[in-house]
Amino acid sequence: MPRSSELKTNFTAGELSDNVDARIDFARYFNGSLKLENFVIRPQGSIFRRKGTRYLSPTKDSTKLSRLLEFQFSVLQTYALEYGENYIRFFSNESRVLENAKSISNATQTDPVVITATAHGYSNNDIVVIEDVEGMIEINNKEYIIGNVTANTYELVGIDGTGFTSYSANGTSKKVHEITSPYLESQLFDIRSVQDSDITYNIHPLHPIQKLTRLAFNQFTLSQIDLIKGPYVEQNIVSTDLVTLTGGAPWTEGSTLTLTASGGHTPFTSNHVGGLWRIKEGTDIAHLKITGFTSSTVVTVIAQNDIPVSLQGAAKSTWSEGEFSNARSYPSAVAFHEQRLVLAGSINAPQRIWFSKSNADYENFEEGTNADDAFTVKIASQRGDPIRWLFSDNVLFVGSADGVFRVVSSRNGSALSATDIDIKKNISHGSDLIQPESVDDTPLYIQRGGQKVRSVNFSVSQDKYKASDITIDSDQITGDGLVEINSQENPISTLWGIRSDGELSLLTLEQDQEVIAWGRYTTQGKFESSAIISDASGNDVIYSISNRTINGVTKRFIETHKPNFLNDNVNGFYVDSGLTYNGTQNTTLTLSSASGSFGITTEDGLFFISTEIGEVLITEEEPTSIVSDIGIFVASDVGKEIHELGGGLGRGLITVVTDDKNITIEVLEEFSSATLLPGTWAIAVKTVTGLDHLIGETVSINSDGATEVNQVVNSSGEVSIPFAGSIIHVGLPYTSLQRNMPIEASGLSKILGSSQGKVKRIDSIIIRFKETRGGQVLFNDETVDIVSRSVDNAMNRGLELFNGNRDLTIATGWDTEGIISIQQQEPQPMTIKSITYKVTVNDK
């Protein structure tokens, strides 16, 4: 029977649909996978196991949806904003944004705990974070809702402190920075926003435009904006429908006046309060803001400009209602384009687009005859479909349910204006409500229905923009539809799409390299929202809201994901909703014998004391003193260990804590030096605490690179391991999986033709790995370990990361497809560079 070796050199086609699993005439077939789950597809061709998600905080109310949006003030100050029902909270630098600290002077061992903090300034139901309390350490680094507030005390609602350690000193409380917002839970995913420096404009069709302003790192405000002098609907054309402006002198800007309707029409409702009204005759204009409702014919207004004499007290039919108010609704789409704020698609005017004045005069919509004046246009959609989004690129794209329009100047190189604008429908594939994103300098939008992603590019031959379906080879990847998308630039150009079922669809896009590769992320629970912001080094950090069932209860967590490709002990983070204990210390340690001399242990278990007069031999049991140049030790450190990092293997058990700088250890393994510099040693532990958010859940544990046995987090939020670890990652496990397309023995094509449908067997595979530890190959009902521990490996240390080829005999048995899977379930890295399948084909 003929045999063939089939080499898969890259994975740049991503996860392909079963609709193309017979397309061996299709080049992408050989670079694709039937399943690609929890891997990052690198443009160079390899797949890298995705990093885990790091737990930051619960959302304010786990019973309700919330959403994340970005706010990027500068390269160094970026924020993820948690929008919930009637509130906004802030995250930056992978932590909560907290207000200034208040000093704590006492905490009681009562139910509930009562905190004393003089002149704290808090209110009932505020959320605070407590830090640096000595003694009652159980309350540190957690969020609390507070109640029963007095001038100098407050209770931690629901926290029973009767079993806690008694308070001894110090501590601070910091209020979680939060501001109120008008948005309800059901409205959160319809918010659209654009940002200019420290201001973001938020729009929603049922709410006045809101301006979010950053005043300081931990201080934001949200306020309703008053657009200046427009926009307005078409002018009244019924000559008998009159309005009269009265109120007397001084008739200047800011004057409170009365606007009365006559002639039989009743134009006013209470929902007009906050909206605009205009009276215009010739060049004379009165801009008015309605501030009070008296009746359907009488409202109170404030003059937005000095009122011309011709409009003072005279009945006029030449009036216009403001475009935006609670009576008419507000825009649903927004963009900045050519230094204008562009709004579009209110409920009452679904196909209209409003351009502010140019030169960044964003809140001024006064129309005129100059090129920089505000203006209004309307798209001509055959079916009257509403505008769903705006996207600014080299042209302004306008997405509707009917298609995509492009808006440009009618003269090349000039700016848009009321007299110089050209609007054409270029794309007939209608749009979903989701705001488009740019990936690899390419606008991507979701087609109506939520299941297709289209890439917008200019066709020179057709002299128009076209939208290619980039999910056509992977039509399963979006599930029942996407509900949100975001873009990542570094380290890889990626589109993140959250599906309605809570999975993530991820697209690696490098069009110059012909890389269009989809994969999926899964987790224990569901992803519900994400925001992607850059960190100080320029790489992107993904913030997400995860809906998880924890100990039988629905919880929603804010978590972060750092998509780097580092696999040292600090960065080898492969658990979800996880936390890290990092005992690395930034201080210098000096080791000596009990009498103060320098010593290290030898391999035969003896201890040398080096002195000026020679060497003295003592046993390993001889106590060793350690001095830190900074006070870091506490009484509870007894039983922990001192570990040397890097090339050194020194370990010592802490037996006595004399004070915050002096301890005694029992040497367990030799130290390489009597002086351990900052960053070269750590305090190692066997118990990891602070896992309260995962109580009752089974977690994976990576300790100094070694995989520990999965454990259930106990009721105190703790897990314990047999060997002390310096850097320990703990969190929910997840599985990374790659499954091949049905094997095509192309090397035998001249002899057999296609091997599709022919009985075949995979005899062995050669997998080329980079920085991999652990993993398994699955076929039929069998499992083969890839990089596993042997009796020669020390149990308290991780295996070295493997680089190179693994040749595995698997003998799948005979079938017509030849499917195997490679998976990683341990909290460890895995990078696959290539796979060679050795195949036997039965040609009978």
DSSP labels, 210-253? EEEEEEETTEEEEEE---BS--B-PPP--TT-EEEEE--TT--T
Cα–Cα distance measured from residue 120 to residue 662, given in angstroms and rounded to the nearest whole number: 36
The helix/strand/coil state of 637 is: helix
Beta strands (DSSP E) in 743-801 are 760-772, 776-779, 782-785
Rounded Cα distance between 809 and 795, Å, is 27
Distance CA 515, CA 555 (A): 37
Instruction: Report DSSP state, residue 133.
Output: -
Main-chain phi, psi angles of 310, to 5 degrees: -65, -20
The mean predicted confidence, pLDDT, of the chain is 91
In terms of Cα–Cα distance, which of 46, 374, 71 is closest to 195?
A: 71
How deeply is 382 buried, as exposed, middle or buried, from its count of CB atoms within 10 A (0-12, 13-18, 19+)? exposed
CB-based contacts of 691, cutoff 8 Å, min separation 6:
579, 699, 713, 717, 718, 719, 730
User: In 10 A of CB 282, how many CB atoms?
Assistant: 8
Cα 824 to Cα 164, 565, 817, distances in angstroms: 40, 16, 23
Give 284's strand partners: 281
Tokens of 115: 């905190």
Strands 375-378 and 387-392: unpaired
CA angle 770, 569, 823 (to 5 degrees): 45
CA-only gyration radius of the chain, Å? 33
Ordered by where they begin, the domains of the chain are 3-32+735-841 (no CATH), 98-176 (2.40.30.180), 242-321 (2.40.10), 580-584+688-732 (no CATH), 589-678 (no CATH)
Tokens of 118: 């003089």
463: which DSSP letter? Answer: T
φ, ψ of residue 650 in degrees (nearest 5): -60, 140
Specify the length of the chain in residues. Answer: 844
**Burial (0-12, 13-18, 19+ Cβ within 10 Å), 163:** exposed
**55/201 Cα distance (integer angstroms):** 29
For residue 374, give the nearest of 412, 424, 323 by alpha carbon.
Answer: 323
Q: How are strands ordered across the β-sheet holding 606-611?
A: 598-601, 606-611, 614-619
Q: Determine the pLDDT at residue 610.
A: 36
- Describe the strand order of the beta sheet including 172-175 as a list of residue ranges: 102-103, 172-175, 127-131, 142-147, 153-156, 114-116, 106-107
Low-confidence ranges of the chain (pLDDT < 50): 595-621
Residue 537's contacts (CB-CB under 8 Å, 6 or more residues apart) are none
Q: How many C-beta neighbours within 10 Å does residue 236 have?
A: 18
Specify the DSSP class assigned to residue 570.
T
pLDDT of residue 156: 97
Q: Which helix (H) or strand (E) holds 750?
A: helix 749-752
What is the per-residue pLDDT for 408?
A: 93
Instruction: Give, in degrees to the nearest 5, the angle at Cα 601 between 595 and 603.
Output: 160
Q: Which residues pair with 37 in a beta bridge?
A: 520, 737
End-to-end CA distance of the chain: 8
Residue 590, token pair as written in the block = 């000096």
Q: What is the pLDDT of residue 795?
A: 56
The pLDDT, as a whole number, for residue 138 is: 87
Q: Note if the bond before 231 is cis, omega within 30 degrees.
A: yes
The pLDDT tens digits for 179-218 are 999 999 999 999 999 999 899 999 999 999 999 999 999 9
pLDDT computed for residue 615 by the predictor: 36
Position 411 scores a pLDDT of 75
684 and 726 in contact (C-beta within 8 Å)?
Answer: yes
**Sheet containing 219-224: which strands, arranged edge to edge?**
192-196, 199-204, 207-216, 219-224
Local structure of residue 50 (DSSP, 8 states) = P
**Other Cβ atoms closer than 10 A to 300:** 17
Cβ proximity of 676 and 696 under 8 Å: no
